[in-house]
Every structure is written in C-alpha cells, then in structure tokens.
A and B are shown apart, each in its own frame.
Chain A
Amino acid sequence: MIEPRHAAPLLALALAPLMTGIINRTKAFFAGRQGPPLLQAYFDLWKLLRKGAVYSRATTWVFRAGPMVGVATGAAALLIVPLGGEPALLAFPGDILLLAGLLALARFFIIAAALDTGSAFEGMGASREAQFSALAEPALLLSLAALARLTGGLSLSDLFRDITPAAWVENGPALALAAAALVIVFLAENARIPVDDPNTHLELTMIHEVMVLDHGGPDFAYVLYGAALKLWVLGALVIGVLVPWRGPNPWANLAAVVAGLFVLSVAVGVVESCMARLRLLRVPQLLTVAGVFAALAIILLRR
C-alpha cells in the first residue's frame, strides 16, 4: 500500500518548482504587477531542457558535473527529510549529519563549477558562497542539535515527529529560537533576500545567480531544479518546526505540510517585497546571529 512517506519524495520532486512560482507571484502582487504564471518555473525548465548548449572553452568535466550533483544531492536529501510527522522514506540515527553532508557536497561542486569558467564574476560569487555557507553550517547543525536535545531524537524523522503543540507549550522560547535560526539559514542557503537577491542583474552584487552565469540549456535546467529541491528540503525543516499539528490521518498531515511550504513561499515573497538586500558585509553578522539563536536555544534547554 502506498503510504504518505512513499509519496512525499515524489510529491517534492513534482511540486518543488512551484514554490518559486508562488514567491514570484507574491512579489508581483506587492509590486502591483500581474506577474508570471504560477507554473513559470516548469515552463522555464521545459524550455531549457529542449535547448542545445554552449560551453566555455575554459571548462572541464567539473563544470558539467556541478549541476548534476546539485540535483542528485537534492533528490537524495528528499529521501531522509520527513514531512508531516511521518518518518521519511529512509530514517536512521545520524541522518542529520548526512543531510548536512549532502548540502556540503552540492556546494563543493557548485563552487568548483563556478571557478571552472575562469570568470572573475563567477569567482566572486563562489568566494561569497564559500564564506556565507561556512558561517551558515554551524547555525544549521546547532539548531538541529537543539531540536535533538529537545526531543531526544537522533534522526530527523524521530526529531520532527516529537515536535508537537505540547512541545511548543513546554519549550516555546527554545523552539522559537531554533526556528528563527533555521529560517535565517533557509533564506541564506537559498539565495533569498536579505542575503542575496535572486532578481538582481548586477553581477557585482550577486552570489548564487552569478555562479551560474555560464550554464545554459539542460545544465541550467538542472541548476534551477536543484535549487528548487534545496528550497523544498530546507523549507521542510522550517515547516517541521513551525507546523507541529498532527491529525489522525497521515495524508492530511502531509497536505498540511505542503500547504505550510506554500505559505512559507508567500512569506518569502512578502519579505522580498518589504525589505532590501543587506550589505554584503552585514551578512556574516546575520548568520552569526542565527548561530547565536541556536546556541541560546540549547542553553534554554539545558536548564
């Protein structure tokens, strides 16, 4: 019989690009524009997959491997990230570390692929990505460690199963701090405002966008799809903390989480409409704040 935990990864593979669509529609609404269709991300993927490719003469296999690793790690991460209180397809103690490892693997290759073009702009983006992710990593792991301390779970599935309304009542401040840290990591890792502006077209200020300037055709489709999967995976962590209600019907729980992810997308759109990108020099401070929030959550739980 098909259970929600079997369906969740497929659902993610199908719906992940929709989050981008929702974000863009929200931003268009705030700007008073009609905006692109909700399914624009799918149209873009389809268009790109049908194109040929132009490669830079400087590039090697690393450049071609980068986008593939991005999609593969994102898809593999979907197998261990639980949705709606149900265990993920693969759940085992220590999968928290594997999730961090998979994200790092993707990062290694996307940075290497950017440097492979020999472009100063892409080098610039790669350098910033390396800096910000080095600071985001402790925040991510510490906030997950705080949740682990709270629930006593050593796998993502155990951990998110035990984040319930009762847990919120008992340890509200700690959970709120951990969630805040996760939100900051979510925004930073997915190149959203206030860390990075996905809409900017000034190479000097971009991070993620500028790293993929030279990708085109199916490779760029992979890049976009990999980014969508990452948005979904990290969003699932945030929603796992923020949407703790569990009903008796697991399918309803899954639907609630998916709805939560779409609300999160709206929230991202609202944030992007209301505030500007931080100065690059301020971003490390924001990420440090995320780490401090996570550490505070741990201290609160240590009572």
Chain B
Amino acid sequence: MILLTLAGVVVLVAGAGLALLLDRRPKWASFAGAGMAMLGCAAVFAASFRMLIGGDAEAIRWPWSMPLGAFSVALDPLSAFFLLPIAALTGLAALYGAEYLQSWTGRKSLGMAWFWYNLLAAAMILAVIARNGLLFLAAWEMMALASFFLVAFEDEQERVREAAWTYFIATHLGTAFVVALFALLAAQTGTLDFDAFGPISAPTSGLLFILAVIGFGAKAGFVPLHVWLPEAHPAAPSHVSAVMSGVMIKTGIYALLRMMTLLGEPQPWWGWTLIAIGLASGVLGALFALAQHDLKRLLAYCSVENIGIIALGLGLGVLGYTARSPLLAILGFGGALLHVLNHAIFKGLLFLAAGAVAHGAGTREMDRLGGLLKRMPWTGAAFAVGAAAICGLPPLNGFVSEYLVFFGGFLGGVSISGHFATAGFLAVAALALIGGLALAAFTKAFGIIFLGEARTEAAGRAHEPGMAMRFPICLLAGACLLIGFFAPVTVLLLARPIAAILPMGEHAVDGYLLAMAAQLRWFVLLAAVLAALLAALALLRSGLLAGRSVTERGTWDCGYARPTARMQYTASSFAQPLVDLFRAVLRTRRSLDAPQGTLPTKSASLSTATGDTFTHKLFRPAFGGVTRLMERMRGVQHGRVQLYVLYVALTLVALLVWRLGVARP
C-alpha cells in the first residue's frame, strides 16, 4: 500500500510538471492539472482506506545522500487516517477548481496555479508518510511554499499580497520551532529517523513537546498563533481555501500527534496545556467567527474553533492516559481524530459553497447577499447541511465527534477524581459554550446569505454553478449525513489509529470502541425516529393543507406600506447582542456618521469591523518593537566598502587577540 501511496505522490508531481508545460494552453493545463490531482488523490485514498480497514503497516527505507538517516517513509494507521481526508478533499476540490478557475482564463496563469496545487497535495501526503526529520522538513517547507503561492493567486490585489506575506512569515516562524525541535532530537539521538528516536526522558521531552506545540500549532491555528488563518484562507481561491482549512492545517495536528507518540510517556501538564489551548481556540474562534461580515473570514475563524475542539479532545486523551483511564484516553483521542475527518468534510463543503456564492453572486460580503436559496437550491441545501453539521447537531457527523469529546469530558468529570475531573468539567462547559456560539455564527451565515430577500441586485441575479462545482459540494453534504447515520461503523474505523497512539493492543481498543458503537446505535435509532417523525409530520401537514386555501403574500411588516429588502436584519445586526456582550475581547471598531439635525439632509452611515485582537494587541506591537530595534542597527550599515573592510579587519584582530590571549590552553 505504501507503494501505491508513493505512486500517488509521483502522479501528483508529474501532474504539476505537466500543468506547467501546458501553461500556454490554459484548458489543457487545467485538464491535466486537475485530472492528475484527482488520479493521484484517488490512489492515495484507496491505499489509506485499505490500510484503515485492515492492511499491514508498511515502511520503505532508501539510502540517500543526506546526512542523519535514510529516505524513510511508512504508511501506518495513524498516517492513513490523516491521508484519507487529505486525499478525498484535495481530489474533490481539484474537480471543483477545474471549473472555478475557468473565469481567470487568459488573465492568470492556470498552469502555474495547478502546478502549485499538485505540489501542495504531494507535499501534504509526503509530510504525513515521512519517517525522517529531513524528509519531513522538506515536505513541510514545500507545503508552506506551495500554499503561499496559491494564496497569492490574485496578487494584483493589495489585500491578497498582504495576506500572503502574513502567512509566509507565520508559517516560517512556526517552521523555525520545528527545526529547533528536530535539531534537539538529532543532538539527543544522533539521527533523524523517527524509528530511532527512543523514549526521551522527562525534562527534555517536555521541552520538545513545547517546541512541537508552538511549531505545529502555528500550522494548525492554535490561539494565539492563528492570526494568519483569517487573512490567508479568504485570500486564496475557494478550492484552495477548502484544502488549506479542511486538511492542510490538520497536518499540524498530525505532526503534533506523531511527535507525542515519539516522545515517550506524556505528563499531565501536556494534557492541561492542550486543554487550555483548546479552550482559548474554541471559544475565541467561535466568537471572532460570529463577528465577521465576510463569509470566508467567518469560515476561517470557525476553523480555529474546530481546531480548539480537536485540541480539547487531545488534551482529554493525554489526561486519560496519565490517569490510567483507557476509556477517557480513547474518547479524547478518538473524538479528536474523528473531528479531524469530520471537519475536513464540512469545512471543505462550506468553503466550496462559499466559492459558489462568490462565483454566483459576485461577493462574499454577507450584508450584500440574501435569498440565495431560491436561486441556488443545491448549494443552499448543502450549505444548510454543512452548517448544521459544524454546529454539532444530531443526526449529522459533527455531532458524533463532538459527542465523543463531550462524553469524555462527562466521564472524566464524573468518574475520575482530582484535577482530571476539573479538566472534564472545563471541557464540558467549553464545548457547550462553543456549541452555542457556533450555532449563532452559522444560523447567521446560512440565514443572512441564503434566506430572506436579496439585499442587492447582484444577489438577486445569483445562479448555481456548473456540475463540476456542484457535484463535490453535494457529495460532501452526503458524507455528513452518511457518517452521522453510520456512526457506530465509523467509530470502529478509529481503532487502529488509536492503537497507534496509545500503548494498548488493537483488541483492547476495539473492545472499548465496540461499547461506544453500541451506545451510538441508540443515537442512530433516535435519529431514525426523528426522521420518521419528520416524514409523518410533513405528510400530516400536506394532508391537512390539501384542498384548502394556501396563498402567498408579502411578509408581515406591522402595516408598513413600502418594505424593502434593506430593512431586513443584517449579519452585523444579527450578531450585535453577542458581539456587544463580548466586546472586551472582540474590540469591534465602529465608525458612525450620525444623522444631524431634526430633518437630516446629509446621508448617514454606520460600519463595524472586527479585526483580530491578537494581531493588533500582540503581534503588531511585538513586530513593531523588533523593527525599531533593527532600525537602530542600521547605523552600522553605511554601504561604504571601506567601513566593511574595517569591520572585517577589526573582527580578525579581535579573534586573534582571543586566540592568543584568552583561549590559550
């Protein structure tokens, strides 16, 4: 199976090259790029699926000329579990992108776009199967570069360029920590092969864990390292945003998990660190999502929120492990893993749908949309499914994974004592608040964009995209329902990845998961009851209304004579009460141009914008300080050759003095 995976990578790289070669003929380049991307992803999907349902772990080691180890790749259940959504979403997004990018034909180099897209896919897959530090870092860097160029696709826009640079700097700061992590590991063990990293003793392993959390957390979007997400994801073309938000940030979660399996015995404070991160990311992500006006920015913040839920799960898992509670550990890690898969599905779906909205109505500003469900019934219905799923509502897939983490919190709170119980209750409270805020954010997104009346003419002329864009969206919506209704089967897929994380036999994990599956069977039963009730109620309603007068009128407006679509509640007004309540964190800026006088003649205006508090209060001052410090250093940079020669001479003299005087043995 590992060979099939590598073949997929080769196909992707070949696709990248082919797309670049055919750059002169955009149609062919699109065809080759998207086609090869789908082909490669299909191969990887098949390999990882086979692995998950019971293939043997396989590894390949080829000697190479790099120092510290060999070209080593492997496909084990943990890798396969992350490859599954990567391959599926990247493949589907490629199909979508083939149509989505068409409107740029002639204005942009499509060959280039597909070159980077295929490289991004190949790099993500390679990062997940790499078992050598150097190979991993190479793939990691390739992934960062490819996605940077994809973010900068519309580089004629100032905002896009700025977003791309923000992303570039953020991702490389993260990479710096990853490099430090591997350097430390190499210094400790003398190699960079993952297999050779023996268990590492306590103080060092803690330091390595911190490095991993910062380095990989920057990619995953842990608060406060998330600041690049809401900039970069909206700037990229929608199929790229779907891939970046749906799966690329999960490579950070994967790498963190992989490192944790290599670092040996976890400490309770690791779990607490992850829970604290999860709490902050989950709640702040949901709050900032609620305050956004731009659909894709909202979705990007919501990714931060979901990464928070995943981190909460991981934290509970670590605590369960250290508390010697296998069930809590399995619920935590299992919930986190399943949420990785689920989030890839619904976030991919939502970003693709957001692209369809931008494509069909010409804007992503929620306050300029409205009533799209009538003109885009397929996309709208799929968006509704995705929105409900991301809020963790039964009977959809989001509920299943949140349920595992939630139940873990309950279990920890109820049956374990000491600080573990506190963590459990904290997780319960956080998940409940996150759920409520997410519901507010997504009823807002769905309601303001797809329901009501069109707020602008452009929104009134919106149209469905073509089949290539519609098919992936609907397929992903189907997957949300499928995983929800087949929850008992889905959780069993988690057995092998969990066994790769926890030092328990696969059979033991299977035993616990079978118990969970039995529990989830009740949930499916209730979901079926719900569906039957809905069908019965719908039948009753249509039976009652048959033959009676059913008419259509304008919406009741308290007798006002001339209602307009602009009188509807807007995205900002919908979110205002909650945004106002949490203004201390959100720091929404208002600019009000109030009407003057008894009979105002001048037009008035009010606008609100919620930037990122961490950008404004943390990173901007910090980077500003660095810049000021560097400006002081400018004094030494005159640009005069004579001075530089003087520097060289002085350095040499200083070294000579040091060698002769101080360092004499």
Contacts and interface: CB of A to CB of B under 8 A. Distances in A.
Contact of A105 (B393, B429, B453, B565): B393
Nearest to A149: B414
Contacts of B437: 134
A237 interface: no
A96 interface: yes
Contact of A58 (B371, B388, B429): B371
Interface in A84-104: 90, 92-98, 100-102, 104
Interface stretch (B100-108, B191-199, B529-537, B651-659): B529-537
A141 B432 contact: yes
Contacts of B406: 97
Interface string B384-406: 10011001111000010001001
Interface string A132-145: 01111110111001
Given A55-B550, A133-B436, A148-B410, A141 B452 contact: no
Given A115-B448, A148-B410, A126 B443 contact: yes
A107 interface: yes
B9 to A, nearest CB: 40
Given A145-B425, A152-B414, A56 B556 contact: yes
A160 to B, nearest CB: 15
B622 interface: no
A298 B409 CA distance: 14
B606 interface: no
Given A53-B548, A57-B552, A149 B413 contact: yes
Interface residues of B, number: 80
B551 A55 contact: yes
Nearest to B438: A134
Contact of A49 (B394, B413, B447, B544): B544
A157 to B, nearest CB: 12
B451 A134 contact: no
Interface string A30-59: 000000000000000000011111111111
Interface in A208-263: 213-214, 217-219, 222
Contact of A54 (B387, B435, B523, B552): B552
A140 B553 contact: no
Contacts of A122: 569
Given A118-B453, A218-B544, A126 B410 contact: no
Contacts, number: 251
A136 B545 CA distance: 36
A100 B540 CA distance: 27
Interface string B344-383: 0000000000000000000000000011011000000000
Contacts of B393: 101, 104-105, 108
A113 B553 CA distance: 16
A291 B525 CA distance: 32
B569 A60 contact: no
A202 to B, nearest CB: 10
A142 B443 contact: no
Contacts of A68: 534, 537-538, 541
Contacts of A127: 569, 573-577
Nearest to A280: B577
A197 interface: no
A130 B410 CA distance: 25
B428 A137 contact: no
Contacts of A218: 540-541, 544-545
A71 B569 CA distance: 26
B573 A123 contact: yes
B533 A72 contact: yes
B664 to A, nearest CB: 65
B439 A52 contact: no
Nearest to A72: B533
Nearest to A132: B577
B439 A107 contact: yes
B549 interface: yes
Contacts of A26: none
Nearest to B566: A120
B519 A93 contact: yes
A154 interface: yes
Nearest to A140: B432
Contact of A79 (B411, B436, B526, B553): B526
Contacts of A214: 555-556
Contacts of A302: 421-422
B534 A120 contact: no
A98 B526 contact: yes
Interface string B436-478: 1101101110111001110000000000000000000000000
A284 B537 contact: no
A288 B335 CA distance: 28
B627 interface: no
B578 interface: yes
Given A62-B451, A118-B565, A131 B577 contact: yes
B452 A58 contact: yes
Nearest to A136: B436
B439 to A, nearest CB: 6
8 closest residue pairs by CB, A with B? A123-B569, A134-B436, A115-B447, A118-B452, A52-B548, A130-B440, A137-B436, A72-B533
Given A112-B446, A126-B447, 11 more contacts: A59-B555, A73-B530, A92-B523, A108-B439, A108-B443, A115-B447, A118-B453, A126-B574, A127-B575, A142-B428, A214-B555
20 contacts: A52-B549, A53-B548, A57-B552, A59-B555, A60-B374, A68-B537, A71-B533, A92-B523, A93-B407, A93-B519, A97-B407, A98-B526, A112-B384, A121-B557, A127-B569, A131-B581, A134-B439, A138-B429, A149-B414, A222-B537
Interface of B: 370-371, 373-374, 384, 387-388, 391-394, 399, 403, 406-407, 409-411, 413-415, 421-422, 425, 428-429, 431-433, 435-437, 439-440, 442-444, 446-448, 451-453, 519, 522-523, 525-526, 529-530, 533-534, 537-538, 540-541, 544-545, 548-558, 565, 567-569, 573-578, 581
